[in-house]
Chain A
Amino acid sequence: MPISTCVLTLPRLVLLCVSLGSAILFTPFSWAAETPSENARKEFVRAVLSESFSEREILLRSLVGYQDSQVEQGLIAWRGGSLYLHETNALKTPFLLESQTDADGNAKGLQVIDGKYVLDSAGKPQLFSQTDLTAVDADAKLRRVIKTTLDLYSLGHSNLMMRRDAIIKLGQAQDPSYLPHFRGSLKDQDTPEIRRALLEAIAVTEASDPDEKVRVPAITTLGKLRSVNSVSILQALFDTARKEPVKAGEETIRSLRIALAEIDRYLWWGTLWGTIFRGLSLSAVLLVAALGLAITFGLMGVINMAHGEFMMIGAYTTYVTQTFFATWFGTSGFGFNCYFVVALGASFVVGCLAGLVLERGVIQFLYRRPLESLLATWGVSLLLQQLMRHIFGAANVQVSSPGWLTGSLVLNDVPFAYNRVFVIVFAGLTVLGTYLILTRTPLGLLIRAVMQNRAMASCMGVRTSRVNMLTFAFGSGLAGTAGACLSQIGNVGPSLGQSYIVDCFMVVVLGGVGNTLGTVSASLGVGVTDQILQPWLGAVMGKITVLAAIILFLQWRPAGLFATRSRSLDS
């Protein structure tokens, strides 16, 4: 009993203490906060009304210390050319327009000084039309000063990333007058990213200090921090120092060389990891797109020109699912974020069904006539494109990525975009899944039996026509999921399939028709080579070089990387 009372009263006590404390703390605080804010607004108004640039500059710089949202808005408006003056009896008040306008496009004016509406002679809020007003002048030079003030404001930005970016940007300005601000924020800073950004900003600013004793440690710090952002500044310092070695001092040159080498080494690793990741990710895209074809073309030998269109159907399925989820759950939140998982399943099912219809309707009659099946499926691909144009319109549709697929994980300054990571993982899983289905399930056994020797399988009582149908549907289903994946990185439009179909056939042929492992290695080879070549040769030449290399390779080994001999292909 006594324990329970104790438990009950403890929170109450805490609550009481907090409320008391806050009462004591906050009352004088809010009183104190009033005056500097008012002061800032008054200074802002003086700056606006001032005629001389230098006075404006001084006043604007003095605004930095105050965190007043009213002034901040005023500054943003001034810089953007949407701050206006209201004149009554020689009294000028700066104001900005409310974003909300009435039917005639008129809006109420908000005074910067007190955040109240500008009133007309009748005491009602006066309406202004933007086109009739002339903005308070601000030339490029002044806008820059305003921007600096605003940037320093953002040192207190509530969003962590925004604050970090702002600090880095301010550091790059190398303005010693910022140093006290940086040091001030550093004192009570616990967030490691912000701390690092502040340290970096201080070091960058001090790196150009005239005093060698300040300069050298700052440069060394930058090297230790592996500050990628300051490379160009350090490089410039190094170049000028080498031109005038006496003035710069031996110590400075040495520290610069060490710091640059350190950052360079760090960058080299970053580029290496980045290239490997990008290569993997392009390979994964190719693999996901080509895996379905590796089954329908590789295993079954059907030249399916409509393979790309199955991907497009998958992508449109994703779009439709997204639209449904958006109407049910809105465009954010957990419900909406789940849509992609559902879309993956749905696009597989829709792809399967489309494949089933195509196989039953067209391909089953053309198994022994590859050229005709090529033409027929090409016709089907055109039909499907036109159908989508009819239903969804000729323009591309927008598929927005769920929250967990946007943004990137940044490790050592190398960004790993989540959607790319997802495609890599997904590619791995589909390959594994396909492998398991083909080797560990009764269906897989039947598929392999039919593909290797149709006549024999048929004699053994396997219903080959049904196996054909299921295999084709499975391959098409994979194409559908590929479409869902591609919707996260590219365009969704009627011609989506067209831009991938060539790559798909290329990868399957290169890997060796009839060999799924070949497709995996071929997509890896093509993807990584492309990404390694691109930085040197550019996107256009890179692609051409890869294509030329594939042609040469196929001259040397016409059957691809892994040649398979199977009866179905020979006949």
Chain B
Amino acid sequence: MKIRTSLSLLLASAFAFVSPESQAASTVKVGILHSLSGTMAISETSLKDVLLFTFNEINKAGGIKAGGQSYMIEPVIVDPASNWPLFAEKAEQLLAKDKVSAVFGCWTSVSRKSVLPVFERLNGMLFYPVQYEGEELSKNIFYTAEAVNQQAIPAVDYMLGEEKKKFYLLGSDYVYPRTTNKILKQYLKSKGIPESDIEEIYTPFGHTDYQTIVASIKKFAAAGKACVISTLNGDTNVPFFKEFANAGLTSENCPVVSFSISEDEFRGLPAKDLVGHFGCWTYFMSLKTPENTKFVKDFQTWLKAPVVTGVDYTVSGVDGKGRVTCSPMNLSRMGVYLWKQAVEKAGTFDVDKVRDALIGQKFKGPAGEVTMQENHHLVNNVYIGETLATGQFKVIRTLTGVAGEPFSAKFLTSKTASN
């Protein structure tokens, strides 16, 4: 006890000595709730890295200015280990014990559903950055992620524009593919595609034998004008695309649009087999805006010597080899900046006040300007890209200012979803 007090005294005096303004010493705790071990670690670790990078960016620029004082962001990282109930426990720890002002986290929809009651009960604030199926709206969650009408619907519209008449909906067997495909089926029917020309197939996680499915796709696509809409997750894409290419199917005779493959996932995929297929996101690493060039360059530099300046925090576990940026990473970063602006507008970290201030916040990011809407989703630009052998996407279509809408009932009835 004694040692700790004296230590903190020493620290305090040191701070007072180093920075006589003493203002810079105030910090604000922000939680990062991403799996750093287990199956989801491959994807989620990148988000933790980009969040730390963003905190560093903000701290270096003077931190968050609220109520005439500037605050340095202090990260609090917990590891829910890809274990859904553990997500709720860790969220509770962040909110009740560490008293963080905001939490950035979750990848899978299951994990988000698991923490949702915790955030509502303790009145926390969560920023969720990964494309998801919608049909949910919590006052305590801000969804910077792509809603179905910002990814699946534009992609299908593009395929319809390319004269595709038959749709093979293929997905991993869990909530996101099933809900998305249900919505897409309804949407396709409203566009005059008969039920008989839509096939809906699911495979278990870690499925390795795609022979039968590829054979049925080949039959399905024999008459031409067919495409595959894939919500296959993670590494099941490898056996699928290998089988697909070996069966003589190509992007020419049957293109595949994948919703779960971003630049980051590409690192473990055989790029050669995916060339010419499509992806649809609100950000691509290949975008040529000055903001993006700077973001990519700064991030790569930061990876070499990862630090968070301004606070007493050591960054560990960052692997800088062959790193890329992708849409969930960009959206994580957008969330942090929108939150910062809202705090500065509200002049406080109080959750209720920041929530009100967040609505209508705009930020010009690497993929263009985003705006937080009243429904807690972003207005964002949507890009459709073609896969290159380098693991990057070439943008072939841009839709500007698509307003995210979580509830399919709304965008399926209104005709504004496309065009």
Contacts and interface: CB of A to CB of B under 8 A. Distances in A.
B222 A395 contact: no
A172 B161 contact: no
A257 interface: no
A228 B204 contact: no
A274 B215 CA distance: 8
B208 A489 contact: yes
Interface in A475-510: 489-491, 493, 499
A408 B250 CA distance: 13
A143 B397 CA distance: 13
Contact of B202 (A165, A417, A499, A539): A539
A100 to B, nearest CB: 14
Contacts of A393: 319, 321
Contact of B272 (A144, A400, A543): A400
Contacts of B203: 539-540
A407 B223 contact: no
A398 B243 contact: no
Interface in A369-406: 393-398, 400-401, 406
Contacts of B288: 105, 129-131
B161 A281 contact: no
Contact of B239 (A144, A491, A543): A491
A177 interface: no
Range of interface residues on A (Cβ < 8 Å): 35 or more
Contacts of B270: 398, 400
A231 B267 CA distance: 40
Interface of A, helix, strand, loop or mixed by DSSP: helix
Interface stretch (A343-351, A430-438, A530-538): A530-538
B136 interface: no
Given A232-B223, A540-B203, A410 B41 contact: no
A229 B222 contact: yes
Report, nearest first, the 8 A-B pairs whose CB atoms are least far apart.
A396-B268, A417-B246, A140-B161, A232-B223, A534-B212, A278-B211, A539-B203, A172-B224
A80 interface: yes
A111 interface: no
B206 A499 contact: yes
A394 B42 CA distance: 7
Given A231-B223, A415-B246, A144 B208 contact: no
Given A80-B396, A408-B248, A419-B242, 6 more contacts: A278-B211, A394-B42, A396-B238, A396-B269, A489-B208, A540-B173
A258 to B, nearest CB: 20
Interface of A: 80-81, 105, 129-131, 140, 143-144, 147, 161-162, 165, 168-169, 172, 228-233, 267, 274, 278, 281-282, 285, 393-398, 400-401, 406-408, 410, 415, 417-420, 489-491, 493, 499, 530-531, 534-535, 538-540, 543
B253 to A, nearest CB: 6
Contacts of A165: 250, 252-253
Nearest to A493: B235
B247 interface: yes
A282 B211 contact: yes
A168 B321 CA distance: 45
A417 B253 CA distance: 18
A81 B208 contact: no
Contact of B223 (A233, A278, A285, A540): A233
B161 A278 contact: no
B293 interface: yes
A162 B242 CA distance: 19
For A408, A534, A539, the residue with the greatest tally of chain B CB atoms inside 10 Å of its CB is A539
Given A398-B270, A535-B216, A540-B202, A169 B246 contact: no
Nearest to A161: B248
Given A408-B247, A415-B218, A539-B213, A162 B208 contact: no
B202 A538 contact: yes
